[in-house]
């Protein structure tokens, strides 16, 4: 038995509903729960959840107001995510799976490998990249190190004592330390996962190329084979979420099958948004979000920084 969970704000609910629809098709016997990390009173009138919901009010967050004050909305959601996961996890029976997925994920095939291949695993991680990068596009591997090698957009947990130990550890660190601050070793809930293969037994790195396609890895994934894609994350493709909006490696035009899928997905989103969910601003995470620089602006700033570095370090003898 699998319980799928997503955590989202009101404006991401159409994505969550599309995800739910894909799960009904691919995993009809399994459960799906939505974690709502937003103010329930901001829901448009008449909106009904077609799935069970856990609300932020059901969690014990020590100081919601101050967390909301210190974080951007994406950081705030990341800070709460482990607590939502814990809330569902505590009701699982032994060996049941809980699978967290971003609302922007859509399933095209069932996770049939789960029992066959990973029956002994405790935690499944999906790396952003499976192969070394060979070009000079953005992001490079250094950037991936800063944001975390394993995507926290997908996390599969099997109910075991060791998994509980992982979840206790993660959920005690993340809420207070979910800033996007690479200089301090922090990057939302995600970077913490880098330590887990050392810290916990049974943490398993999933190397199946059909799992977790996204803007950041289309170049190394089976994008054109319809059967091969298990699930795809539309984060950054359909919205301004995530850490890869400024990426320059993958142009949608080069991936016609993905492009068609995106168009179909966007249609589903508008079907699910007839009450104006996407116009509701997130209630929590009050710090303004500064979108990353892109295009000419980014290029200019990069070369200006190089100029500064040159001025700082160029050797000029005292007497010419």
Neighbours of 7 (CB within 10 A): 26
Report yes or no: 192 and 174 within 8 Å, Cβ to Cβ. yes
Q: CA nearest 208: which of 126, 145, 287, 270?
A: 126
Nearer to other proteins, 251 or 297 (CB): 297
Shortest distance (Å) from residue 182 CB to other proteins = 6
Shortest distance (Å) from residue 146 CB to other proteins = 5
Shortest distance (Å) from residue 213 CB to other proteins = 16
Shortest distance (Å) from residue 20 CB to other proteins = 30
How many helices, marked H, and strands, marked E, lie in the chain? 9, 9
Question: Which H or E element spans position 55?
Answer: strand 53-55
Nearer to other proteins, 133 or 278 (CB): 133
Nearer to other proteins, 53 or 301 (CB): 301
Largest CA distance in the chain: 81
Nearer to other proteins, 129 or 275 (CB): 129
Shortest distance (Å) from residue 205 CB to other proteins = 6
Shortest distance (Å) from residue 71 CB to other proteins = 17
Nearer to other proteins, 213 or 277 (CB): 213
- List 232's β-bridge partners, or say none: 106, 213
- List 154's β-bridge partners, or say none: 101
Interacting residue ranges for other proteins, rule: CB under 8 A? 127, 129-132, 141-146, 149, 169, 173, 177, 182-186, 191-192, 194-195, 197-199, 205, 207, 293, 297, 300-301, 304-305, 307-308, 311-313, 315-318
DSSP three-state, residue 60: coil
Helix axes 73-89, 161-173, angle to 10 degrees: 150
- Please state, in angstroms and rounded to a whole number, the distance separating the CA atoms of residues 122 and 197: 11
Nearer to other proteins, 181 or 268 (CB): 181
């Amino acid at each position: 038995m699998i319980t799928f969970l997503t955590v989202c704000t009101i404006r991401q609910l159409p994505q969550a509903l599309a995800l739910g629809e894909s799960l009904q098709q691919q995993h009809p016997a399994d459960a799906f729960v939505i974690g709502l990390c937003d103010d329930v009173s901001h829901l448009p009138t008449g909106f009904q959840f077609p799935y069970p919901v856990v609300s932020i009010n059901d969690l014990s967050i020590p100081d919601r107001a101050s967390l909301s004050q210190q974080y951007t909305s994406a950081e705030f959601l990341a800070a709460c995510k482990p607590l939502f996961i814990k809330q569902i996890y505590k009701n699982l029976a032994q060996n049941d799976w809980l699978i967290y997925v971003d609302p922007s994920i859509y399933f095209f095939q069932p996770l049939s490998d789960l029992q066959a291949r990973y029956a002994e695993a405790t935690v499944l991680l999906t790396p952003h990249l499976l192969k070394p990068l060979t070009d000079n596009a953005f992001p490079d591997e250094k950037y991936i190190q800063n944001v975390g090698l394993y995507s926290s957009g997908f996390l599969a947990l099997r109910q075991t004592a060791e998994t509980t130990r992982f979840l206790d550890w993660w959920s005690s660190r993340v809420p207070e330390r979910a800033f996007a601050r690479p200089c301090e070793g922090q990057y939302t809930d995600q970077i913490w996962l880098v330590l887990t293969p050392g810290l916990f037994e049974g943490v398993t790195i999933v190397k199946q190329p059909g799992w977790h396609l996204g803007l950041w890895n289309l170049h190394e994934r089976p994008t054109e084979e319809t059967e091969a894609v298990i699930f795809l994350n539309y984060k950054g493709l359909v919205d301004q979420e995530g850490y890869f909006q400024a990426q320059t490696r993958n142009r949608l035009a080069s991936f016609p099958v993905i492009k068609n899928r995106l168009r179909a997905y966007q249609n589903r989103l508008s079907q699910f948004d007839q009450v104006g969910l996407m116009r509701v601003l997130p209630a929590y995470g009050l710090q303004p979000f500064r979108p990353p620089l892109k295009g000419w602006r980014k290029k200019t700033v990069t070369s200006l920084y190089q100029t500064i570095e040159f001025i700082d370090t160029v050797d000029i003898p005292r007497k010419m």
